[in-house]
Amino acid sequence: MDHFLLLLGALMVLTLKVISCAMSYNDGLLEEEELREAQKKNRLIELPSFTEYVGYCLCCGSHFAGPVFEMKDYLEWTERKGIWAPTEKGPAPSPFGATIQALLQATVCMALYLYLIPHFNISGLNSPAYQEWGFWKRLSYQFMSGFTARWKYYFIWSISEAAVIISGLGFSGWTDTSPSKPKWDRAKNVDILGVEFAKSSVQLPLVWNIQVSTWLRHYVYDRLVQKGKKPGFFQLLATQTTSAVWHGLYPGYIIFFVQSALMIAGSRVLYRWQQAIPSNMDVVKNLLVFISFAYTVLVLNYSAVGFMVLTLQETLALYGSVYYIGTIAPIVLILLGNMIKPAKPSRSKARKEQ
Ligand X SMILES: *[C@@H]1O[C@H](CO)[C@@H](O)[C@H](O)[C@H]1NC(C)=O
30, with CB counted inside 10 A (0-12, 13-18, 19+), is exposed
Which is closer to ligand X, CB of 80 or CB of 119? Answer: 119
Angle made by CA atoms 235, 241, 247, in degrees to the nearest 5: 140
137 part of the interface to ligand X, by CB under 6 A: no
247 included as an active-site residue? yes
Q: Which residue out of 3, 63, 119, 247 is catalytically annotated? A: 247
> What region does 245 belong to: left with phi over 0, alpha with psi -120 to 50, or beta?
alpha
78, 121, 172, 242: residue in contact with ligand X (rule CB under 6 A)? 121
Which is closer to ligand X, CB of 276 or CB of 305? Answer: 305
Contact yes or no for 263/303 (Cβ under 8 A): yes
Q: Which span (116-124, 146-154, 226-234, 314-322) binds ligand X, by CB under 6 A?
A: 116-124
As measured in angstroms, the least distance from the Cβ of 117 to ligand X is 6
As measured in angstroms, the least distance from the Cβ of 18 to ligand X is 36
β-bridge mates for residue 174, sequence order: 182
90, 118, 179, 345: residue in contact with ligand X (rule CB under 6 A)? 118
Number of residues this chain uses to bind ligand X (CB under 6 A): 6
Which is closer to ligand X, CB of 169 or CB of 304? Answer: 304
Q: Torsion angle, CA of 240/241/242/247, rounded to 10 degrees?
A: 90
Q: Which span (99-107, 113-121, 178-186, 345-353) binds ligand X, by CB under 6 A?
A: 113-121
Q: Which span (43-51, 77-85, 119-127, 176-184) binds ligand X, by CB under 6 A?
A: 119-127
119 part of the interface to ligand X, by CB under 6 A: yes
Which is closer to ligand X, CB of 60 or CB of 129? Answer: 129
The 8 Å CB, 24+ separation contacts for 335-344 are: 336/269, 337/266, 337/268, 337/269, 337/272, 337/273, 340/273, 341/272, 342/272, 342/273, 342/275, 342/276, 343/276
Respond yes or no on whether the N-terminal peptide bond of residue 231 is cis (omega within 30° of 0): no
140 part of the interface to ligand X, by CB under 6 A: no
124, 194, 231, 251: residue in contact with ligand X (rule CB under 6 A)? 124
51, 87, 123, 280: residue in contact with ligand X (rule CB under 6 A)? 123
53, with CB counted inside 10 A (0-12, 13-18, 19+), is middle
Contact yes or no for 167/261 (Cβ under 8 A): no
Enumerate the active-site residues.
247
Binding residues vs ligand X (CB under 6 A): 117-119, 121, 123-124
